[in-house]
Amino acid sequence: MPSNSPFLRQPASVQSVMLKVLVALLPGIAMYVWFFGWAVLIQISLASVTALAAEAAMLAARRKPVRHFLTDGSALVTAWLIALSLPSIVPWWLTVLAVLIAIVVAKHLYGGLGQNPFNPAMVAFAAMIVAYPQFMSQWPAAGATDLATQINAIFGQRQLDAMVMATPLDTLRTALHTSGLNATVESVLANKTTYGFLGGKGWELVALGYLIGGLWLVQQRVITWQIPAAFIVAFGGIAGLTHLIDSAQFAGAGFHLFSGGAMLGAFFIATDPVSASTTPRGKLIYAAGIALIDWVIRVYGAYPDGIAFSTLLMNICVPLIDKSTQPPVFGHKEKRP
Amino acid sequence: MSAYRDIARSGLWKQNAILTQLLGLCPLLAISTSMVNAVSLGLATIMVMAVANLAVSSLRSFIPYEIRIPVFILIIAALVTVVDLSFNAWLHDLYLVLGIFIPLIVTNCIVLARVEAFAAKNPVGASTWDGIMMGVGFVWVIGLLGLIREFIGQGTLFSGIDMVVPGLHAIQVLPEDYPGFLVVMLPPGAFFVLGLMIAGRNWLDARANDRAKALLVQHTQASS
């Protein structure tokens, strides 16, 4: 904490910010590899190479300085987020296609870094889950870490019966919605081979890794506290409240926060500086909106997780949120409507 | 004849109903999931546009100015009913696919726009020609959009051709196990592909402009 005048601040370069985001993803990735095998690293390298190539091609086509923008790392962050949100055993072409959609369509066709109204990684995820639901629902089972099988799944013939499973979120919803089973949240979550202590075997520790990395980003002032805090409070609040009202139908806050993409969303996706809200109060509204929409999609929707759709929906609202939460200029009184 | 050539050029490119004026997007986006559907609806639209322009142009001195829009709509609606019944009678399979979008040609703003902006003020020959050319401009855009969406979305060409010409079959261009790309077949994909086509058109225009300017500079330098 510097406390001496003249309070000079080093303006953060895009490159250093993006580098810190990549570093902060490492604990989560380490957990991912530990529980689900090396496949995710293959996907990350595949996505990174594709992203850099696509970025360079688009920069050249738009006659921008290639080296300057290519080394800012923003394409790498997008690529890593895509690789981490897709199931780690999707076929290679699906990852490549997703990254191309993110970089070419969602980023550069909208005007490049700083101009894109939608989070590129989430545009790609949404396009993939709409186009290929059959591949997007095949997640690796925890402990099925045989490298040869995973490589085969990514690059060759897919014979997956032994190693795939639905996500814990999916399993829970299917069980609750199948009438006649009389399943309650408690009875479903009692199955410890799928569910660990909080969110789902393995997944909860991956989420913990993201949480640790995310807190470090807040401490480094790369991201502000508003978005993750509002996301977690709103998500935990609605999940906890509904769980209190009917614990048989609604899973609790711990389960929701530590399963699916909640932690990745709270610290790495919703905080995208380009597409997120920029005013302090706006960030609170924006992140809480994402959390609430995501909860609704998880509980009542047909898709396994809703981070992508809820982020895109709130991206649309950002201009309105920013306009109505603009803080008063220093020295002026706040306008009361 | 240069007036006729100008009308053709403006319908096909310069004032193209879709790429420039962005009219009639609803049927464009809804029907362009395959080339056969797109072109069939486009041909129906051409028929309506040509005859509507012909009819309105020949009646233009009898239609009271204040109630011209209802009169135009009545004429167009009558023509669309004819087209609708013809499709039902002779191309029944296609009629079932196109469904509500044939009657909806009445509300297609391209038709009313040409009637109001051109046929109500111009002689019969030019108006009919304008209706045909604006219609052809609509058809090539919607056909190309259908071609691209069908190819990317399911890897075929001319699927549904047997509904129009019995005995012909769709061509499977990409291998049978092509997983398809559903997004392009859904409305968002239509918007994206159309956006790319408009961008392409603007790019071609900008390039032509640059060339014309360069040519002009050369000429002025040569003459000075």
The proportion of chain A whose per-residue pLDDT surpasses 70, expressed as a percent, equals 87
Alpha carbon B27 to chain centroid distance? Answer: 10
pLDDT of residue A113: 83
Length of chain A: 337
Position B217 pLDDT exceeds 90: no
- Domain of residue A52, residue span: 13-165
Q: Which of residues 127-186 of A touch B (CB under 8 A)?
A: 127, 130-132
As given in the structure block, the two tokens for residue B123 are: 């002689």
pLDDT tens, residue by residue, A204-249? 888 999 999 999 999 988 899 999 999 999 999 999 999 898 887 8
Does A86 reside within a domain? yes
Say whether residue A104 is in contact with chain B using an 8 A CB cutoff. Answer: no
- On whether residue A106 sits in a domain, the answer given is yes
What's the pLDDT at A205?
A: 87
Span B31-62, pLDDT tens digits:
888 888 899 899 999 999 999 999 999 999 99
Q: What pLDDT, on a 0 to 100 scale, did the predictor assign at position A140?
A: 79
Residue A162 above 70 pLDDT?
no
Model pLDDT, residue A328: 79
Pairs across A and B, CB distance < 8 A: 12
Q: What is the pLDDT of residues B193-204, one digit of tens each?
A: 999 999 999 999
A144 within domain boundaries? yes
Pairing of strands B171-172, A139-140: unpaired
Count of domains for chain A: 1
Q: Could you tell me if residue A109 is inside a domain?
A: yes
Domain annotation covers residue A201: no
pLDDT in tens, A13-45: 888 889 999 999 999 999 998 888 888 999 999
Q: Give B27 to chain A, closest Cα distance, Å.
A: 23
3-state secondary structure of A140: strand
Residue A183 has pLDDT above 70, yes or no: no
Buried b (16+ CB within 10 A) or exposed e, A200-219: bbbbbbbbbbbbbbbebbbe
Per-residue pLDDT at B219 exceeds 90:
no
**Nearest residue, CB atoms, A130 vs list B183, B192, B195:** B183
- B183 and A CB contact within 8 Å: yes
Chain A nearest CA to B208, separation (Å): 19
| Average pLDDT score, chain A | 85
- Please report the ipTM that was assigned to this predicted complex: 0.76
